[in-house]
Amino acid sequence: MELDDEAVTRILGEFAEADLGDARRTTRLLKVVAALAKHPDKSLPAVLGTSAALEGAYRLLNNECVNFDDLMEVHREQTIGRAEQAGEVLVLHDTTTCKLEHADPREAGFLPTGKAGFFAHVGLVVDAGRHRRPLGVLHLEPYWRKKQSGRGGRQKHLGGRELAGWRNRESERWARGVQACQEQLSDCAVVHVMDREGDKYELLTHLQQHQERFVIRSSHDRRLSCEEHPGQTLREMARRQPVLLQREVQLSRRSAPTAPRSRALAPSRQSRPATLSITASRVVLRRPNSLKAGFPATITLHVVHVEELDPPKGERPVVWTLLTSEPIDSNEQIERIIDIYRYRWLIEELFKALKTGCLYEGRMFETRHPMLNLLATSLPVAVELLWMRARVTDEPSASATDIVTLQQIEILRTMGHRPLPSKPTALQALLAIAGLGGHLTRNGSPGWQVLGRGYQRLLDYEAGWRARGSSKRRNL
């Protein structure tokens, strides 16, 4: 999936104020960003065209005077502005791995597989309004491991600086991400959203002490206060609560993760309708025995438990136990908590947009510095790609003009393989684009690569369309 001229202009606006110490560097940066935005799923030699342009891009990304923090700062400032305009936002937190296939892991860091690469902990800001538009990445913490395994192997680095102290342990990245986003979004109403890896007593304590709002999926069947819930664990208590409502949903198709542990937690499944049973209650969690007395003995919060009724034979039922600061006084408030968590999938789609849509892991760099710089320049492109895909997924009946221009709709009617009605929806336009890329309806929803091919053809047709119009005007 590539972007149209309007989207490219928005992305260039992210970097227009970048201060790289030399105006020539900024000019080169804008050229590289524009090329990547136009053709994000192609190699650098393919998008830059000439050997001189390619050499200039490599010099820029490897230049020690151009660094990740400075490149990220301009995107952060734009993200903060969009968040303040929205007023209320969700911040989705998660960690992904970034492979460096051409690097030496002894220099670039080790992934759990033993291959070269690093980890990136991300805070994606999303408009909490009706459309849940991705607004940008406010926090990105890269870190890497010096050794493949062993107790001493998880010594971390951040931006070239070694992390030290209990507040800088790898597991504390969740609290660091929350704090960084909260400080920068002081004029916004913020709800932090995390999956099971965010279920840490230390983090829950931090959130409560700072009166920050959150929705976190529980990973542990925690012990509860003996005084409040004698002899019960979190999930036992949640399941014993009266059912407050049921909800019919369509579960999306899910491919199995490659990592064995992740695959055990989230096995593959086909799309299917599901009936969810929902309970909610107040709970008092006990401090784990492994923690020191410096943490409070108990913390009080709300829990919303979601469980699928009568799943198909052989299928694992959907079960979510959500820990939250949000009120649960009405069914509407409880359903809102579930909806907030359901939008966590956007950050997983961001990682796909970055790695597949922008071909980030396919870039042939051997060291960290240029890969981090390229990560900072690729993120705004990935956010734009994510919005296009998410808009269709979230509201397929929205107008096609939400994702393409009127001229592009006309081109799809003329050059596409699938007919479009007089007022097409966003879904119909996206499927028409996918058709240009070779998508077959029997193959289900189009993926990032086929959409990229289709959108590139649409842009090529559009360029020819404009050239033809210019030629006609010259001949008049």
Residue 110 exposed, middle or buried by CB count within 10 Å (0-12, 13-18, 19+): buried
- Both 91 and 154 in one domain: the answer is yes
Residue 338 in contact with residue 244, Cβ under 8 Å?
no
| Of 456, 377, 465, 457, residue with least CA distance to 12 | 377
| H/E stretch holding 101 | none
Residue 203 belongs to a domain = no
The answer to whether residue 332 is domain-embedded is no
Residues 354 and 425 placed together within one structural domain of the fold: no
Residue 335 falls inside a structural domain = no
* Domain shared by 27 and 134, yes or no: yes
Shared domain check, 404 and 390: no
In this structure, the answer to whether residues 169 and 76 fall within a common structural domain is yes
As for how many domains the chain has, the answer is 3
105 found inside a domain:
yes
Task: Say yes or no: 170 and 305 in one domain.
Answer: no
Indicate if 316 and 403 belong to the same structural domain: no
Is 407 within a domain?
yes
Residue at 208 is within a domain: no
Give me the sign of the Cα torsion angle 363, 365, 367, 372: negative
Task: Determine the Cα–Cα distance for residues 163 and 175; give it in Å rounded to an integer.
Answer: 15
Whether the pTM exceeds 0.75: the reply is yes
| 389 and 419 part of one domain | no
CA 260 to chain centre: 22
DSSP 51-87: HHHHHHHHHHHH-TTS-HHHHHHHHHHHHHHHHHHHS
Contact (CB, 8 A) for 138 and 91: yes
- Identify whether residues 179 and 89 lie together within a single domain: yes
3-state helix, strand, coil in the chain (%, to 5): 45, 20, 30
Q: What residues make up the domain containing 369?
A: 1-195+344-394
Q: Considering the domain boundaries, does residue 1 fall inside one?
A: yes
Question: What count of other Cβ atoms lies within 10 Å of the Cβ of residue 65?
Answer: 10
pLDDT in tens, the chain (476 residues): 556 667 777 777 777 777 777 778 888 888 877 777 777 767 777 777 777 777 777 788 888 888 888 889 889 999 999 999 999 999 999 999 988 877 888 877 888 888 888 899 999 999 998 788 999 999 999 988 887 655 444 444 444 433 333 345 677 899 999 999 999 999 999 999 999 999 999 999 999 999 999 999 999 888 898 888 888 899 999 988 999 999 988 877 766 555 555 555 667 777 788 899 999 999 999 998 888 778 899 999 999 999 999 888 888 888 999 999 999 999 999 999 999 999 999 999 999 988 887 778 877 777 788 888 889 888 888 888 888 788 887 788 989 888 788 888 999 998 888 889 999 998 898 888 888 888 887 777 777 767 767 776 787 788 777 666 655 545 54
Residues 304 and 409 in one domain: no
Same domain, 235 and 363: no
376 and 407 fall within a common domain: no
